[in-house]
Amino acid sequence: MPSPLPPTELYASERVVVLVSCGLSFLGSSLLVCTHALWPELRTRPRQLLLYLSLADLLSALSYFYGVLQDFDKTSWDCVLQGALSTFSNTSSFFWTMAIALYLYITIVRGSPTGTGLVCCFHVMSWGIPLGITVAAVALKKIGYDASNVSVGWCWVNLDAEDRVLWMLLTGKVWEILAYVTLPVLYLLIKKHINRAHAALSEYRPILSRAPAFQPQTSIADKKLILIPVIFIILRIWSTVRFILTLCNSPAVQNSVLVVLHGIGNTFQGGANCIMFVLCTRVIRTRLFSYICCCHYDELDWPLRRSSSNWQCSEPPKNNDVSGPEQTKPLLSST
């Protein structure tokens, strides 16, 4: 039997990079939650599912941040707590990511009507299964110090456990590998169905298919569908690579580049979702920038408004029930 690998030493630069990734993921997930709260008219069913994914990524970023900041060197109560929170949120993130892909497949390809029943099933699976696995792992004392060979400073499955491989699979890896297979298949089927619909549309409506405004929107939607599984795999594959290297007892698991890629991949999911579904979504991006610019303008202009005695809104409204054009013009001009 080969001797076990020594703990992976985390350098200060590596910790800083992963902490920054955690912070960006936290901000990205928070921004997704805020946009969902700000504009009720944009709360479509897929974006509701995205909200639950963002909540899981939010908790994941916080737990990973604490773990990297502490850089645990033994099993302690806060190590177990952090490991339990990251296990639950990370596994839940896998389930919600697959739930969104499954929902799009059912509605777009199958054309089946969906209601609250399907969303309830998603809630039971995406919150219930990770919670059950995490509670069992904590109760059986499987969460603890892992020498950073399968993590980057945070706690996960205790490497002293005899059945550690089984619990590594149950608490993340089996769902991660399942997502590697499921997501590309579902999104390729969705893209294939959309391409067929576009081909039929171009056959019967050639004027619309050749319109300049039609092709860019189609191209953007297709690219985003392809990017979803690609970005997920690019972020998560490094964690799987280090997991396999740990099972093989290979010293390459302590390679600094792999450690940094693993740390960024596990912590930046919320930031990647924010880039795709906020910054790269024209409707959300336009509203967000307009909202930020409007708030910034109001803050800069507030002293001038207070000093102006002739400003219309400085007087109390005579009739609170009036909702005429005078009240809607500023709002329309700012958005």
- Domain boundaries along the sequence of the chain: 12-294
Of 93, 146, 5, whose CA–CA distance to 270 is shortest?
93
Q: Is the pLDDT reported for residue 334 higher than 80?
A: no
**In the chain, at which residue ranges do the beta strands (DSSP E only) sit?**
143-144, 156-157
SS3 at position 309: coil
**Segment 126-167, tens digit of pLDDT:** 999 999 999 999 999 999 998 888 899 899 999 888 888 999
- Predicted TM-score (pTM) of the model is 0.80
Is residue 274 a contact partner of residue 29, using CB atoms and an 8 Å limit? yes
Asked whether residue 221 carries a pLDDT value surpassing 70, the answer given is no
- Cα separations (Å) of 300 from 286, 309, 311, 335? 21, 18, 16, 18
For residue 83, what pLDDT band results from cuts at 50, 70 and 90? very high
Confidence of residue 289 (pLDDT cuts 50, 70, 90): confident
Paired tokens of 279: 């910054």
- pLDDT > 60? residue 280: yes
- Quote the tokens at residue 97: 């990511």
Contact criterion met (CB below 8 Å) for 33 and 51: yes
Name, in order, each residue with C-beta under 8 angstroms of 163's C-beta and a sequence gap of 6 or more: 142
**C-alpha–C-alpha distance, residues 182 and 178, integer Å:** 6
The predicted pLDDT at position 298 comes to 54
Ranked by mean pLDDT, which of 49-63, 99-113, 145-159 comes out on top? 49-63
- For the domain spanning 12-294, the CATH number is 1.20.1070.10
Largest CA distance in the chain: 86
Q: Kindly tell me if the per-residue pLDDT of 192 is higher than 50.
A: yes
